[in-house]
Amino acid sequence: MTPTELLDRAKRATESADLLLGAGDLNGACNRAYYAMFDAARAALIAVQPPPASEAIKTHSGLISAFSLQLVKTGQVSIELGKSFSKVSDIRLIADYSDEEVSADRARWAVEQAKEFVKAIRLHCTTTPQPVAHSGSSG
């Protein structure tokens, strides 16, 4: 997938998170918020040059680690974005795998963080030079 396709998917996931939040499905909203951030982070990593090895971003922990190392630690995205991605990941694990119900406040926070994250990453990707495809012609 291209960064643009991933960002479009991330935006749809934030919209789904909003719908689920409004319907009272707090755990579902947290899940969709996290996956919005996940896809946006993938888009940002694919957009950087050189992009990380695809194996490095196939797992959740690998993607979060690569995002932190290649984008946060280099100052390309803010520390706050890195922290919110990590925190929403933790909330998603609770929502998906524990018997604990995520609170309404926490779910609202996760959805808002996802919206801000996707917006910031979309801006980052539009200001990051994209690789030029080689057309195979010599001029």
One pLDDT digit (tens) per residue for the chain, 139 residues: 889 999 999 999 999 999 999 999 999 999 999 999 999 999 999 888 666 666 667 788 888 999 999 899 989 999 999 999 999 999 999 999 999 889 999 999 999 999 999 999 999 888 755 443 333 433 3
Distance CA 61, CA 118 (A): 19
Q: Is 77 inside any structural domain? A: yes
CATH number at residue 115: 1.20.120.330
Q: What is the CA radius of gyration of the chain?
A: 16
Structural domain contains residue 69: yes
Q: Is residue 120 part of a domain?
A: yes
pTM passes above 0.85: yes
Picking from 37, 32, 123, the residue whose alpha carbon sits closest to that of residue 77 is: 123
Within 10 angstroms of residue 113's Cβ, the number of other Cβ atoms is: 22
Report if residue 111 sits inside a domain.
Answer: yes
The count of structural domains within the chain is: 1
Amino acid at position 96, single letter: D
- Does residue 100 form part of some domain? yes
Q: Give the range of the structural domain holding residue 84, as residue numbers without chain letter.
A: 3-127
137 located within any domain: no
Asked if residue 81 is part of any domain, the answer here is yes
